[in-house]
Every structure is written in C-alpha cells, then in structure tokens.
Structure 1
C-alpha cells in the first residue's frame, strides 16, 4: 500500500540565499513521467510554510491532502522565515533596518523552488497556491515567468480592491506623519510574534463560542508548535516569540490602501480565487477587482465557501475544509 512521504531539502537562489523546501508526495508516485500537476504552496505574512501547509495531525496537512490526490507538493520558506537563511539584519534590533523580504524579492525564492520542482517532476509548468499576501507573491511570479506556471490558486488574496482595509484601522501600520506611507519607524525590518498571536485571530474569526467545535484543538496545538519550531531562537525569549520579516506586512499595508503592487492583466494561466465568506483579510472587492483585471488569464474561477473562515483549510472537514480542498483539486485537474 502506498503512503505519503516527505523530503526536506534546500535550494539556492540567484542571489545565493539558501531556501528550505519540504516536498510531500506519494511514495510510489511517478517521477519524470506523465503525472498530475505538481504544486508549490506559498505561505503568508508572518509564518513559515510548514505551519500553514503540513501539520503532523489528522486534517492538519493541506500538502498531504493534495499528495493523496496525486499532486506532488513543495513548501518553501521565504528568506527570513522558518529554516531558510535569514538576513543578517535579523540579528540586529528591528529598528536598525527597513522592512525585510518584500514580495518582489521573494519571487527569487519561489523561482529557485520552481526550478527544483521542474527538474524533480520532469514538467515544464507547475501550479502555485498562495495564502493571503502569499497570493500577491505568486501573482507577481506568474507575471514574471508565465512560461513556468499552469495554474494559480489565490487563497484569501489581498489585491487593492479597496482603499480602507478595516483590519488596519488602529493597527498603527500607517506613518502618523503621512497616512499613505508604511510606519517603518514603528515596525522596522522584522517583528517578534507571540505564539498565540495568530491563534487569537483564528479564534476571533470563528462565529461560535466553542472554538473546538469548529477547529480541532490538535490542529491548533500543532500550529502553535510549528510556529515555535520555525525559529531556533523562539525559546530564548520570555515569553517565547518567533521572528518574521516585515516586508510582506509592508506590502499588505499598501495593498490595503488600494495600491496594486502587481496588475493581474499580466497573468496568462488558469486562475482559481478562493475566499471564505467570513474571511477578515481578503475582501469581496479584492475578488471582484481580480476578476475584472484577469483579462488575459486562460480561465478564471471564483469559489466562496459559505460560512468559512480565513483558516478554512485548517478548520474541521465539515466547516468548509473538505469542500474547499475538493474545489482546488478539481481545478488542478
């Protein structure tokens, strides 16, 4: 009986940064032969890839679910995240540098991973899935290298469809002297994140009092542990915190006030936009604007799982996870 296997390795970018990648696939899956499209899974603003896509508990691994459907999955950590090289500035105080690792720079990390995928799987084109600002990143990549991309899955994307993102009101992301600029003086190059920071956002997005009825507590525990494991310095601070570059946060600010950091009319492949009805990050106007701008895409589909959160792919199967995974695998096929 075949089983899912994992391989952790590193690739080197054009500017000599070592990027950690996890591959998840079927043990007896075909290699360098006809197969289903391999897919790259790109993380979002604050967290390394494994914490979003490959938790070692039941219903905690999106990569495993895709592998079982026949799609070899590759999960990179962008520079500054997880087990990838960190900029030297992340060993200095945050205020000593400007926001590190913005999306356009991270396209180098995606490209190094894509090249490894093409070589390992014997394909010309691959699929990309990006979560949150990770969706902005893969839009950029598909615009730069259309010949390498067959499918894009934009999962809860932010695109510049509105000028006043409600999540950022009172968050201090804007420069108090100029509200159209990111508050670099406050945030600096990188951030220290408490382990419960994202769990609190997840809890607040679940519309019932008993969060365990919506999200398996084992998944939540594994998520927090993966955040801790993603930074070797986490437990050296009290309370424990993990570091993340602030480049994607700066990008999200500009998109949130209506700036399009990439224009979707440059994308040529097939595109699926997924936005949970209850998502606090992606807005209906982002989806609408994407649909208007994807004029050169081969196909454009939108899927809005009803009563589903920003974390729908990690929620319980009956809370939208199964339906969303089924729609993604149908699209990839």
Structure 2
C-alpha cells in the first residue's frame, strides 16, 4: 500500500507538470499568433482632387505605432466601374479584409474612391434625374483622381514611388496612370484587366446613357453569377458573404438606399468609354508604355472581362521589366469575395514581397 500511495503521488505530480507545460505552450502559441497578427490602425482623409469642389475619400490601414514606410511597402487600391473601394477591399469577411491582409504583411495600405463613388464628392448631377445630364467620371478624370491620391500618399510618407492595384475598370485607371507616371510607381497589380472587347458588356444595356445608372442588389447577384456552372453556384460564395457586401454597398449611397427596392448609383462615364473605346476596338492607352513590374490576376469564370482580355493585355506589356499572370480556377470577376479569395491574396502578396531583377 505505501508503494501504491507513493506511485499515486508521483502520477499526480507528473500530471500537474504536464498541465503547467501545456498552459505555457498555449500561452506561447497565443503570443505567437498575436505577434503574427499586429494591431492595425485605420485613418480617413478627404483629399482635394485638383478640380474645384471635388474631394476624394482616402482610407489608410497600417500597423499601430508605425508611421515610416518605404515606397515599396506602400500600396493604393482603386475600385471598378460600379461599386466603391471600401466595400470590396476593406470588407470584413471571416474577420479579415484584403486591406488587413496586406497591412499585416508590413504594408501601408490605402484605397481611394474616385469622384461620384462611395464617400468622395458626388457631383450635383447625381442629385437630379439621371436623364437630365451627360455621363461623367470618365476614365481620364479618374486617372487625375488617382494621381491626386498618389501624390498625397507620396508626400505623406516621403516616398518617391508606391505600388498600385486596380480591379476591373480600376485596371484601366491604374494602367493608364502608370503609363504616364512610371517614375511614381514601384509595382503594378491589375486584377481582372480590361481591354478591347469582342463580347457583350454585362454593364451596358445599350440604352441612352444618362449621368448615372441605378443598380439593385438583385441585379448585382445575377451579374456576379453569370458564367458560373449551375452545379457550382451554391458553394461559390460562403454563407453570409454576399449579404455582408450588399448591405455595406447599399449603405455607401444613403440617398439611393432609401428607394424601394434599395439602389446604388454609379456614374456612367465608364460605360460611355466602353462604347466609344473598348467596345469600338480602340484602346484608351498603350500598355507598352508601362515600364514597371506588372502582375495580372484573373479568374476562369469572369464573364465581365473574360480571359481573352487578360491574354491580349499581357502581350501588350512589351516594356515591363518582368510580367506575370495567374488564372484562378472556380472564381468569377468577384473572386475577391468568394471561397478561393486566398489564392488571389497570396499570389498578389508574393509578387509584392519578392525582390527580383533580370539575370539574377
């Protein structure tokens, strides 16, 4: 019996020791996780566009307690033709946005809404019926808006060059800007690149164009799933993600969101450019003038800007120091908010982080 009691005491002591070690390991792992996911700070600015009365909404995310970044660690997002930047690039899905992801990799990350979108100045034409005015916010003016945001960021961080990332129409904005301002751009990322069109547009109904168009979330969902095989639609967008995006996007336009059903207004300048240029076989600019490393990202079910545009654009990048593209399987034009979004995030992050030079 004494031996049995002694053995029990040893066993209890050993178990207690294991609990202490397990607790220490758990604490250490939690500390490592905290270190791997730094706290982020969000700041907001209204930046003059250069045209009288136009202010641009710029959002910034960076690590708490840090204010110094080199230009190769700074990135600016711009949105596409219909929706504002913040409900795409800084939408919390499963606890994280794309802005968060890049900022947690040690970057100073910005987004901008061009005039007429999101929290930027909405011109007086948007307070009137759409058919009373001509389309506005064409690509040329959007390039000017991006230029104002780039110069604001460069001055704020004392950086000569920064990275640019555009989605959809935003690829034309960023591509055209870079072609004119290679000296201000470190690397260029074009997600779903726009180029000469030989198929029908999903955003242009062919009707007479007013100053802006109104978009319902039901039509947005239909457009989103265009081209997705019927048996793949159910699990493409994780539960609640579309609703989170739709609610945030509708809320970004308080005036139109009060309609029944709620709507979102989007300037028609981009649609007019589509008719007069991309849909008419004419390019707005020459990608051959881009002289910075360039990365193209695309998804196989993108019916808005199909794969043939990606391939044609890639061939035009004749003067980039190096170029690359990735095609993501089982994704649409909006793969940024779908089950395979991490393939997009990780491939873009690798391009941003790498330090390559020809003939190394």
- 2:331 is equivalent to residue 331 of structure 1: no
Which of 215, 229, 239 is residue 261 of structure 2 equivalent to? 239
Which of 307, 331, 337 is residue 308 of structure 1 equivalent to? 331
Contact kept in structure 2, 1:266 and 1:296, CA below 8 Å: yes
Partner of 1:19: 56
**How far apart are the structure 1 equivalents of 2:117 and 2:98?**
19
1:37-48 → structure 2 map (5 Å cutoff): 37-48=73-84
**How far apart are the structure 1 equivalents of 2:211 and 2:90?**
27
**How far apart are the structure 2 equivalents of 1:168 and 1:235?**
22
- 2:306 is equivalent to residue 272 of structure 1: no
1:182-331 → structure 2 map (5 Å cutoff): 186-209=208-231, 211=233, 213-253=235-275, 254-316=277-339, 319=340, 321-331=341-351
Alignment CA distance shift 1:22-1:212 (3 Å): farther
- 2:199 is equivalent to residue 165 of structure 1: yes
Q: Deviations over 1:243-298 (max 9, x none)?
A: 11011122233313422111111111111011111111223322222222211212
TM-score by length of 2: 0.82
Alignment CA distance shift 1:4-1:244 (3 Å): same
Q: The residue matched to 1:304 in structure 2 has which SS?
A: strand
User: How many matched pairs?
Assistant: 315
Unmatched tracts of structure 1, length 5 or more: 174-182
Greater per-residue helix proportion: 2
Contact kept in structure 1, 2:71 and 2:186, CA below 8 Å: no
Structure 1 or 2, whichever has the larger Rg, is: 2
RMSD: 2.0
Which of 106, 118, 122 is residue 86 of structure 1 equivalent to? 122
**How far apart are the structure 2 equivalents of 1:125 and 1:82?**
26
- 2:148 is equivalent to residue 115 of structure 1: no
Alignment CA distance shift 1:33-1:158 (3 Å): closer
**How far apart are the structure 1 equivalents of 2:331 and 2:352?**
21
Unmatched tracts of structure 2, length 5 or more: 1-33, 354-360
TM-score by length of 1: 0.88
